[in-house]
Amino acid sequence: MLELDLVDQRLLTLLQTAFPLCARPWEALGEQVGEDEARTLKRLRRLRQDGVLRQVSAIFDSRSLGYQSALVAAQAPAGRLESAAAVVSAHPGVSHNYEREHALNLWFTLATPPGRSLEQEAAELAARAALLRHRVLPSLRTFRIGVAFDLESGVARVQEPQSRRALRGPVALSSLDRAAIRLLQEDLPLVPRPFLVVARTLDLDEAELFDWVADAGDRGFLRRFAGVLRHREAGFGEGGMGVWQVPEERIEAVGKAFAQDPAVTHCYQRPSFEGWPYNLFTMVHGKTRQDCDALLQRLAVSVGGWTSRATLFSVREFKKERLKYFLEDLAPEGAGR
């Protein structure tokens, strides 16, 4: 864990929760932490170099863009976990890939672009990685999604509710939409006017780009701009995935109750299968495993209606990044207005 001063902590928290959409965002952030633009940029470059700050970029809604995604639980052969994980991580649709303490020892998220079968892609990937078994676990219902690490208080909190607009399904996208998505999903450049750089690449002026951003938000496929941290380097060493067996008729009530707790950053209903009775998944984060255990135990006591539970901790992080959309496009950069 790196030593972060109070200004670092405040800046990183603001990047996750209140990124300013304006021509000079780093200057606006600096004003909130008592720094000028140049010093703020210097801090951000250091935090990126030190590995605390992964990136600052737009967050898009996969379903609205026509993508299918799911969590995949898999078992790699003994002694071949690393090689299997390397094959899985090389897939461009895999954004998260972890070793977890369970017979199902490899857990990853997989997404496929419009027109591709998620189940078939998962099966082909499992075969290439020589996995012994795998299960595709799509989200059947989302009760809560989005985490922000408050470095000042040392608490992981919910960042945003699930977008209701996103549940309507894919939206029609223009060539400009797809080109802007490909650019804005990348790390914003640490220069005084980062949006001007993006706008020029798209053959737009800065005002036109901000108009596009506002329209994309109104249409539901752009959620927000935010920074993503490497939570271990930021002091949140553990993430506990609490899994719960809940009778079908109680899923909605229990899921909503879990989602009301500020410590729960993600809460999904997923399918159960033979040997895996758990159908409700919750994520909590803490500095230690004991912190996570305490949070999940509090949930277990305060919320009834479940019949059994378990906690899976990640042992190793093989890959964690934001999903990249429309990289398969052949349209030239700067697609027209």
| Positions marked active-site | 96
Cβ burial of 286 (10 Å; 0-12, 13-18, 19+) is buried
